[in-house]
Structure 1
Amino acid sequence: MSAPYDIKQNPHKGNRGLTRAWHAAKNSWCGIVYAFQEESAFRQELFLFVVLSPIALFLPISPLEKCALIASLIMVLVVELLNSSVEAAIDRISFDHHDLSKRAKDFGSAAVMLALLIAALLWATICIPLVINW
């Protein structure tokens, strides 16, 4: 049986406080840059966010509805980043076709599709009455 895990064994867990927050922010920014450079789906969804967020801000709806519309777009970006991280981890293991690798990638793709569906339903539910009553 192996020795129990101790956090002191992990060389990546040494930073604390503001130093940790600074490094986490830098890593997060790098993730966004990599996603923008390497993932066309992320660029497309970011484009939707950039175009639709200002529209949400100017719609004649409540602040909570504006927040929900923008949050749904952010959720799509979050799920896309998680999907891309699964794909990167699978590709690091092997580029060979394997049924479990395909399944993992398909699960990630399905999660993105469902996030997009949630966003579309929310936008439609809030915006269609505006168009009808216009």
Structure 2
Amino acid sequence: MTHHNSPYKSKGGFGRLFNALRYSAQGFKAAFQHEAAFRQELLLVVILTPLAIWISRSMGEALLLIGTLVFVLIVELLNSALEALADTITLEHHPLIGRAKDLGSAAVMLSIIFCTVTWLCIVGAHILVPVI
């Protein structure tokens, strides 16, 4: 078996770190420009993060609330990457590409459900058992 090194892989060092940061920034920019769902979820993160800090009774609670929001963004980015890659293969209907896209969508839905249930449990606990 022949191994081919990708010309896009860096060798390491500060150049690698700089390139990783640059590629990440390009990814965020692409997601913001081309993905309506990412923009909507990012807006919720911007709105809910200060709320999470305000309502949290501990650092752990705040991190859990904010972490679930970030988790939704991560899954959305991965789903968007999968969809972009699938669309470069073909725009015509293909059952396996359709399945891959559906699986990515299901992952986003599960992350949103997890986030919502976490927020409802924590906010509900604050309403039912207020701090005296």
SS in 1 for 2:10: coil
Q: TM-score scaled by structure 1?
A: 0.92
Corresponding residue number in structure 2 for 1:67 = 63
Stretches of 4+ aligned residues off by more than 3 angstroms: none
Q: TM-score scaled by structure 2?
A: 0.93
Corresponding residue number in structure 1 for 2:53 = 57
Question: C-alpha deviations, 1:41-71, integer Å up to 9, x for none?
Answer: 0001001100000101111411101000000
- Which AA in structure 2 matches 1:38? H
- Which AA in structure 1 matches 2:55? L
1:111-126 superposed matches below 5 A: 111-126=107-122
Shift of 1:20: 0.4
In structure 2, how many angstroms separate the alpha carbons of the residues matched to 1:60 and 1:122?
13
User: Is 1:80 aligned to 2:85, yes or no?
Assistant: no
User: Is 1:29 aligned to 2:17, yes or no?
Assistant: no
Question: C-alpha deviations, 1:26-46, integer Å up to 9, x for none?
Answer: 100110110001000000100
Shift of 1:132: 2.6
Unaligned runs of 5+ in 2: none
| Matching residue within 73, 96, 104 for 2:100 | 104
Unaligned runs of 5+ in 1: none
Q: CA RMSD in A?
A: 1.2
**Percentage of pairs with the same residue:** 42
